[in-house]
């Protein structure tokens, strides 16, 4: 039986037929898929036969969430977080539909799920950096000088995978390096240290939904919003601050997938333009955040964080007040969809 077959859902946001699943069939077929269709809800999306899936479009989101459906972004891959909310599994893996199976240096297909599951089921080490990367993998260990009291590590909440071929660059970098490709396969996984933020990319990501799911909100992006392409960044900053507060870990590195096509840098610049300025204030805001000791769940932390966003980032632009409202609406929807029995 494949690892965590009954405990993991695969969430895919898309606007097109999912022919790319054929390539992933050997790895994904045993798992349940949640497909979130963006854009025109009347368009029929074809899913290859033999996959166990549920598909939601905008009409479904509005029917299920009612007057709070606005908190799920439209015409942006941030719509994927609706899939996180409706899942009933302990773990989530999410992937973009332009991501294909990569090969390792020996020419074998990389099973991304197997590696993400390994990352999630072994501890993280956010409090002390091990120079041999992941000390829990075969052929590695804690190096001399690593405190024995910290060698048990902590639970891993987030596993962030990387990409070969098209790197995940912002528009200005894309414009300067249009032909650059990532060909380097670095055979390593490391824990992002406590107190350090990182740019989280949503195209190859797994996390423990039970632990951090309520904080994995990809914000208000796309149609009707002044910003796009910061959805996964936003979720990354929020989840990292909350993971640090809860004493759980985030890993980055393996597994790699093959990112097949670069998006248009001029379109991207239009979406990112405000974010490029705003992030210079948003990041210090997140770096300075302290959450209350009494908040011991991702849900409680996220509600506190929403109010801090309103107060701390609201003065930059009214968008952040709306985003804080979206964060609260998201949690209200999460609670409605995930009532404790």
At 339 the pLDDT is 85
DSSP 227-279: --S-HHHHHHHHHHHHHHHHT-EEEEEEEEEEE--PPPHHHHHHHHHHHHHHH
CA dihedral sign of residues 34, 40, 42, 48? negative
107: number of Cβ within 10 Å: 6
**3 state SS of 236:** helix
Average pLDDT across the chain, whole number: 97
pTM of the model: 0.97
At 76 the pLDDT is 95
CA dihedral sign of residues 94, 40, 220, 336? negative
pLDDT band at 262, cuts 50/70/90?
confident
At 195 the pLDDT is 98
At 1 the pLDDT is 85
Contact 111, 88 (CB under 8 A): no
Q: Where are the domains of the chain?
A: 8-338
Distance of CA 315 to the CA centre of its chain: 27
Mean pLDDT for the stretch of residues 314-319:
98
Please, what is the end-to-end C-alpha distance for the chain in angstroms?
A: 29
Query: What would the pLDDT profile of 141-200 be if each residue is shown by its tens digit?
Result: 999 999 999 999 999 999 999 999 999 999 999 999 999 999 999 999 999 999 999 999
Cis ω for the linkage preceding 46 (within 30 of 0): no
pLDDT of 202 above 70: yes
What is the Cα–Cα distance from 234 to 26, expressed in whole angstroms? 32
Contact 163, 259 (CB under 8 A): yes
Strand partners, 158: 207, 250
Mean pLDDT for the stretch of residues 259-270:
92
Q: How many residues does the chain have?
A: 341
What is the Cα–Cα distance from 43 to 46, expressed in whole angstroms? 10
Mean pLDDT for the stretch of residues 98-127:
98
In percent, the amount of the chain with pLDDT more than 70 equals 100
Query: What would the pLDDT profile of 22-80 be if each residue is shown by its tens digit?
Result: 999 999 999 999 999 999 999 999 999 999 999 999 999 999 999 999 999 999 999 99
What is the Cα–Cα distance from 254 to 77, expressed in whole angstroms? 23
**3 state SS of 234:** helix
What is the Cα–Cα distance from 159 to 116, expressed in whole angstroms? 6
At 180 the pLDDT is 96
At 161 the pLDDT is 98
Annotation: CATH topology of 8-338:
Spore Coat Polysaccharide Biosynthesis Protein SpsA; Chain A (3.90.550)
pLDDT band at 341, cuts 50/70/90?
low
Q: What angle do CA 174, 110, 84 make, to 5 degrees?
A: 70
Query: What would the pLDDT profile of 321-339 be if each residue is shown by its tens digit?
Result: 999 999 999 999 999 999 8
């Amino acid at each position: 039986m494949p690892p965590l077959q009954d405990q993991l859902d695969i969430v895919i946001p898309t606007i097109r037929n999912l022919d790319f699943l054929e390539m992933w069939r050997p790895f994904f077929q045993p798992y349940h898929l949640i497909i979130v269709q963006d854009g025109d809800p009347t368009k029929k999306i074809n899913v290859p036969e033999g996959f166990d899936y549920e598909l939601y479009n905008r009409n479904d989101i509005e029917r299920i969430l009612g007057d709070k459906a606005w908190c799920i972004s439209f015409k942006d891959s941030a719509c994927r977080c609706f899939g996180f909310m409706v899942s009933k599994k302990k773990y989530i893996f999410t992937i973009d539909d332009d991501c294909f199976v990569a090969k390792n240096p020996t020419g074998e297909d990389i099973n991304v799920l197997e590696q993400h599951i390994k990352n999630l089921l072994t501890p993280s080490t956010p409090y002390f950096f091990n120079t041999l990367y992941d000390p829990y993998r075969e052929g590695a260990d804690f190096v001399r000088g690593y405190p024995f009291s910290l060698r048990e590590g902590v639970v891993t909440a987030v596993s962030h995978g990387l990409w070969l071929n098209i790197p995940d660059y912002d528009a200005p970098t894309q414009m300067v390096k249009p032909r650059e490709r990532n060909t380097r396969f670095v055979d390593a996984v490391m824990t992002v240290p406590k107190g350090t933020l990182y740019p989280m990319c949503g195209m190859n990501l797994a996390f423990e939904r039970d632990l951090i799911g309520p904080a994995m909100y990809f914000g208000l992006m796309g149609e009707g919003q002044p910003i796009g392409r910061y959805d996964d960044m936003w979720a990354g900053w929020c989840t990292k601050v909350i993971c640090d507060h809860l004493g759980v870990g985030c890993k980055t590195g393996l597994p790699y997938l093959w990112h097949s096509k670069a998006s248009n840098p001029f379109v991207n610049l239009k979406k990112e333009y405000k974010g490029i300025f705003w992030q210079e204030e948003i990041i210090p805001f997140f770096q300075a955040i302290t959450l209350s000791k009494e908040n011991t769940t991702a849900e409680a932390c996220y509600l506190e964080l929403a109010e801090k966003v309103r107060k701390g980032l609201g003065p930059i632009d009214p968008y952040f007040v709306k985003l804080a409202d979206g964060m609260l609406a998201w949690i209200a929807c999460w609670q409605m969809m995930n009532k404790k029995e």
